Structure 1
Amino acid sequence: MLTRLEIQNFALIESLELDWKSGLTVITGETGSGKSIMLGALGLILGQRANLQAATGKKCVVEGYFNLSDRFQGFFDEENLDFDRQTIIRREILPGGKSRAFVNDTPATLEQLRNIADRLIDIHSQDDTRLLTQASFQLELIDLYGGHSSTVENYQKSYALWLAAQESLRLFREQLGGAEDENYLQYLVDELEAIKPVENEYEKLEEEWKALDNVTEIRRGIGALIDLLDADDYGMLERLRLAVSEMDKLRRIHQASGELHDRLQSTYIELKDISDEAFSLSEQIQDDPQRLIELETRMSALNTLAQKHHCASVDELSGVLIRLQQKLDDISGFTEKENALKKQLADCEAQMLKAAMVLRNARLKTVPELEKDILKTLHLLNFSGVGFSIQLEEKDCGPDGADRSVMLFSANKGQPLRPIQKVASGGEKSRIMLAIKAALAKTKSLPTLIFDEIDTGIGGETAAKVAQLLRAISGDVQLVAITHLPQIAAAGQCHWRVYKEVDNDTTHTNIKALSDIERTDELARMLSGDTTSEAARENARVLLGLN
């Protein structure tokens, strides 16, 4: 529970220290006195965003002291915060607008403060009656009342896994969608494999094609070479042979001529070898029109594929084939992985549906008890012929399960139950919400409840009934009620009055714990206005039980 609240330099509050009690604390004050300012300061330590309009130009500090049970230990460990049964939450707003938060002097984030607040305090204002029409609020109500926290957590984990599996499959398919179609890739691979491109092949093909395409010219040239070298009487070989013979004679009588003989002999041998090879080459050169067509066909096919795949040269085709084969293998692997992701998604969906069914059964079991509890409280609040029911309908799985909740209401006996948003007035919604809070208080799921003018739209005998109910609720939880009704103010075990005062032309908001006499005056003011009569004072004493 909240045990102490200290506020410095927030809006009209210069310095304020409040010691909070267990049971029912009521807060009253004239309209505009600053009751909402105090709640705004409390909101800072509960993780709400700082309202810079409330800044005073000085450092703002709000500290809340909480007495916690050991059940909070695990939560603090999860948040990496130091746990203390006497926990202090501090929020600082610097003049420049920068905000800092601390839990037991350990720096904390606003998200952590909000997580703590969800487990410590429920602040309910008159505008919150709109929550009655929201299915998510209704389901949360059922789960809190039924103590389904572990069941809800189990479902939410399975739902998160299902969402993650869905996202994994979506991203994978998105990645796969950027790759070429498997059938087209297979066609490209088949096309290249059919021609079997070989690196450095095209140069050899081109050389062979040139030879076949120019066979007549090649034959003529080689024939001319043979004639020049090996004509019977005047060929180069015959003349060189005669020269070698003459030099052979000469070297016998002139030793210095031996070197010339040897060189001529070597030249003759080389030319004779050239002549023999030329003759052999001429024998090999044959017309082959069919081979020429084959070469032209293959070279054309290679050139076409090279252009198709944007190759700088035909020699790159072998590398293209390897890359396409790898892509095709990858796509085959994609199919296998996609099937694995589909199975994972199906498994996660099955687990989610199973968890959703467990949660639905728990809710169905809780609803009758919750309806009974709320109806009992509504009867206490002068709703004698009231009808109230909660219907659970099936829907697709979502963050809060596979259920849709609809609250049905009838203010008068004999009238059909209809959705609450269509038939309930503002005052009726306030009493329904109060009955809901009373039901939740019995579960002690939250240590502190704060009602901000939940008494809107009620008065007279109903107000007295509400006061009795608030007093009863405060036996289970710490309860704070900000009210304009004297009946509710009189029910408080502790009574604070918020007021404004002017000091040196500066307006400040203050709060004061009232004595019995001061409470009498305050209730008399609430009963009759600024000018309090003795009759109003007497009525106030009756309400307070001081007669």
Structure 2
Amino acid sequence: MLTQLSIKNFALIEQLEMNFSNQFSIITGETGAGKSILLGALGLILGKRADLTSLKDKEQKCIVEAHFQVDKYNLKDFFAQNDLDYEDLTIIRREILPSGKSRAFVNDSPVNLSELEALGSYLIDIHSQHQTRELTEEDYQIQILDAIANHQNILNNYQQTLSKFKSEKNTLKKLLAEKEALAKEADYNSFLLEELLAANLKEDEQAELEIEFEKLNNVELIKENLDKSLVIANEDQIGVLQNLKEIKVSLQKIAALSPDFQNLSDRISSVIIEFDDIISELEAQTDKLINDPERLELVNQKLQTIYNLQKKHNVATVTDLLQIQKDLDAKVVLADDLDSQIQNSEILLKELDLVLEELAGIISVNRKNAIPILVNKMTEIVTQLGMPNARFEFDMKSAENYLHSGKDQIQMLFSANKGTDFGLLKKVASGGEMSRIMLAIKAVLAEYSKLPTIIFDEIDTGVSGEIAHKMGDIMKKMSEKMQVFAITHLPQIASKGQQHYKVFKFDQGENTISELKLLSKEERVVEIAEMLSGKDISESAITHAKALLN
């Protein structure tokens, strides 16, 4: 429930702080005094958008803060899901800065407006005349029946199962689409895979084949130059090796004369050893040279196969081709695995379908049982509210598909007068009738569910006399189980409140300021007398006001 509200620098309100009880509270005041401003400030707490026009002083920030006792609202899960600190006394603060930036906090943790709006829906229900349209909406009518049926656990189970069912349907849809796509590509993929497998590719073989191809393709040129190199190296008189040996002999003769000469002698010896090894390798390479046209053709064919495959698949290496081969092979395996996955998904869907059908059936039976209870209670209440011939009926059909809250499609039907046919509530009920029906609905719901704080904003428009008395009695009875506020112009309703606040405005210098005041017993007499007779309060009005209050 709302325990405290403070408003600073909002519209006509300069500074306001009020405490509230859990009783039936009345708010009265002249038209234009600021009742709508009060609701606007609460709207900010509930996540409504704001702009700079909300600021009374454009140089100062606007702050609206509300304290709520929430220990009976079962909101711990909500706080946990939104990563907020839970407190039995929860404080919501909204700030609008002169720059136009808006900030919101729940127990000092910053929140966005969507989170604030979600939390606000659990805390306050502001009901005005134009909001009676929600009564004509099918979802709201279903929620009313569900509250009376008291089967929230079954509903939760159904909705969790429905979520799994929808998720599994999406999974199956994707699997079938994947299978269809694979089927379309299956022949081509098989051809590509067979082509790659036939090539018998191996890592790093392309470089080896290219080297072998160059050797085989240039065998004569290679032999000619190897032979020439051997001749130059080994010729008896002027060969490189013979010359190196003569240099070695010359250096050995002077090696003992200086370390430098000894070093040169050692180095030439090393060169001769290395050069001798080179000659041996030249001879070996010459011996290995074979003119093999058949092998050359085979190597050339294998390279052309590799080059063609690389071009076809738009890759540059054999490694890339082997990865493509692996992927194609996986697709063939996947096609087989998909059939198994599809079969398992279809089995699970059938199981979930059976559970949903059973739960939807239980929900439907519970709602059917709740209908006569709701109809009887509503009829009783609206009869008190001046609608003695009002009748209600529910048209309940079963949908082909699973809906969010079952398979029921429900329409509330209404007849206001004897001899008239039932019609859809939104088409046959007048504005005044809708307001009274909504009050009846709220009164019934107060018996069956933990409603948040409710604020009735001039729900009594268009009624007077005894009907107004009855409306006041109904709202007062509702306040036994919840916190109720009524903004009213009717003295009959105002007199039912256990707390009475007056909204008024006054001029202060060049400014007009709105205030909210908790009235004393004596002030309530005057306020209600003024509601009865106007500014010129008569003795009879005072007497009548006292009678109403007593």
Same fold judged by TM-score > 0.5? yes
Alignment of 1:93 onto 2:93: no
Matching residue of 1:220: none
Matching residue of 1:405: 410
The CA distance in 2 between the partners of 1:440 and 1:317, in whole Å, is 70
SS in 2 for 1:181: helix
Matching residue of 2:485: 480
The CA distance in 1 between the partners of 2:76 and 2:174, in whole Å, is 36
Contact 1:498 1:509 in 2 (8 A): yes
Aligned residue among 48, 66, 69 for 2:68? 66
Alignment of 1:18 onto 2:18: yes
Q: 1:170 to 1:500 in 2, by over 3 A?
A: farther
Matching residue of 1:217: none
Aligned residue among 352, 358, 379 for 2:356? 352
Q: State the shift of 1:189 in Å.
A: 3.8
TM alignment of 1:92-491, pairs within 5 A: 92-171=95-174, 181-190=185-194, 321=325, 323-395=327-399, 396-491=401-496
Matching residue of 2:49: 49
The CA distance in 2 between the partners of 1:313 and 1:472, in whole Å, is 84
The CA distance in 2 between the partners of 1:82 and 1:312, in whole Å, is 58
Contact 1:76 1:83 in 2 (8 A): no
The CA distance in 2 between the partners of 1:164 and 1:315, in whole Å, is 39
State the aligned residue count: 476
The CA distance in 1 between the partners of 2:406 and 2:446, in whole Å, is 24
Q: State the shift of 1:311 in Å.
A: 7.6
Q: State the shift of 1:39 in Å.
A: 1.4
Q: State the shift of 1:469 in Å.
A: 1.7
Q: State the shift of 1:130 in Å.
A: 0.4
Contact 1:303 1:314 in 2 (8 A): no
The CA distance in 2 between the partners of 1:312 and 1:544, in whole Å, is 95
Contact 1:520 1:537 in 2 (8 A): yes
The CA distance in 2 between the partners of 1:27 and 1:315, in whole Å, is 81
SS in 2 for 1:6: strand
The CA distance in 2 between the partners of 1:62 and 1:5, in whole Å, is 8
The farther-off stretch of 439-448 and 33-42 is: 439-448
CA deviation string 1:404-457 (max 9, x = no partner): 221011111232222111211111111100000000111251252211111123
Contact 1:119 1:445 in 2 (8 A): no
| Equivalent position amino acid for 1:372 in 2 | N
Alignment of 1:496 onto 2:501: yes
The CA distance in 1 between the partners of 2:23 and 2:456, in whole Å, is 13
Q: State the shift of 1:116 in Å.
A: 3.5
TM-score, length of structure 1 as denominator length: 0.73
SS in 2 for 1:72: coil
| Equivalent position amino acid for 1:60 in 2 | C
Q: State the shift of 1:73 in Å.
A: 6.6
Q: 1:182 to 1:15 in 2, by over 3 A?
A: same
Q: State the shift of 1:535 in Å.
A: 4.8
Q: 1:176 to 1:519 in 2, by over 3 A?
A: same
The CA distance in 1 between the partners of 2:315 and 2:111, in whole Å, is 61
Q: State the shift of 1:322 in Å.
A: 5.0
Q: State the shift of 1:505 in Å.
A: 0.8
Matching residue of 2:38: 38
Contact 1:455 1:463 in 2 (8 A): yes
Q: 1:323 to 1:488 in 2, by over 3 A?
A: closer
Contact 1:379 1:386 in 2 (8 A): yes
CA deviation string 1:121-160 (max 9, x = no partner): 2221111110111011111122223333322222222222
The CA distance in 2 between the partners of 1:466 and 1:319, in whole Å, is 79
The CA distance in 1 between the partners of 2:168 and 2:97, in whole Å, is 44
The farther-off stretch of 156-165 and 175-184 is: 175-184
CA deviation string 1:142-190 (max 9, x = no partner): 2223333322222222222223333444455566676662233234445
Q: 1:532 to 1:330 in 2, by over 3 A?
A: same
The CA distance in 2 between the partners of 1:5 and 1:425, in whole Å, is 35
Q: 1:444 to 1:342 in 2, by over 3 A?
A: closer
The CA distance in 1 between the partners of 2:315 and 2:93, in whole Å, is 69
Matching residue of 2:28: 28
Contact 2:500 2:519 in 1 (8 A): yes
The CA distance in 2 between the partners of 1:70 and 1:523, in whole Å, is 34
| Equivalent position amino acid for 2:61 in 1 | K
SS in 2 for 1:143: helix
| Equivalent position amino acid for 1:120 in 2 | L
The CA distance in 2 between the partners of 1:152 and 1:480, in whole Å, is 31
Q: 1:175 to 1:36 in 2, by over 3 A?
A: farther
Contact 1:202 1:315 in 2 (8 A): no
The CA distance in 2 between the partners of 1:18 and 1:317, in whole Å, is 78
Q: State the shift of 1:516 in Å.
A: 3.8
The CA distance in 1 between the partners of 2:315 and 2:76, in whole Å, is 65
Larger Rg: 1
| Equivalent position amino acid for 1:460 in 2 | G
TM-score, length of structure 2 as denominator length: 0.73
The CA distance in 2 between the partners of 1:321 and 1:202, in whole Å, is 21
Contact 1:29 1:499 in 2 (8 A): yes
The CA distance in 1 between the partners of 2:19 and 2:386, in whole Å, is 34
The CA distance in 1 between the partners of 2:317 and 2:90, in whole Å, is 77
| Equivalent position amino acid for 1:449 in 2 | I
The CA distance in 1 between the partners of 2:368 and 2:387, in whole Å, is 25
The farther-off stretch of 441-450 and 187-196 is: 187-196
| Identity across the alignment (%) | 40
SS in 2 for 1:519: helix
The CA distance in 1 between the partners of 2:15 and 2:149, in whole Å, is 42
Contact 1:444 1:477 in 2 (8 A): no
The CA distance in 2 between the partners of 1:128 and 1:336, in whole Å, is 53
The CA distance in 2 between the partners of 1:104 and 1:302, in whole Å, is 69
Q: Quote the RMSD (CA, aligned, Å).
A: 4.2
| Equivalent position amino acid for 2:25 in 1 | T
CA deviation string 1:191-228 (max 9, x = no partner): 6667878977999xx99xx9xxxxxxxxxxxxxxxxxx
The CA distance in 1 between the partners of 2:99 and 2:320, in whole Å, is 66
Q: State the shift of 1:40 in Å.
A: 1.7
SS in 2 for 1:414: coil
Q: 1:493 to 1:307 in 2, by over 3 A?
A: closer
Q: 1:81 to 1:147 in 2, by over 3 A?
A: farther
Q: 1:68 to 1:312 in 2, by over 3 A?
A: closer
The farther-off stretch of 383-392 and 109-118 is: 109-118
| Equivalent position amino acid for 1:64 in 2 | A
Q: State the shift of 1:69 in Å.
A: 3.5
Q: 1:338 to 1:418 in 2, by over 3 A?
A: same
Contact 2:145 2:374 in 1 (8 A): yes
The farther-off stretch of 494-503 and 38-47 is: 38-47
Contact 1:131 1:137 in 2 (8 A): yes
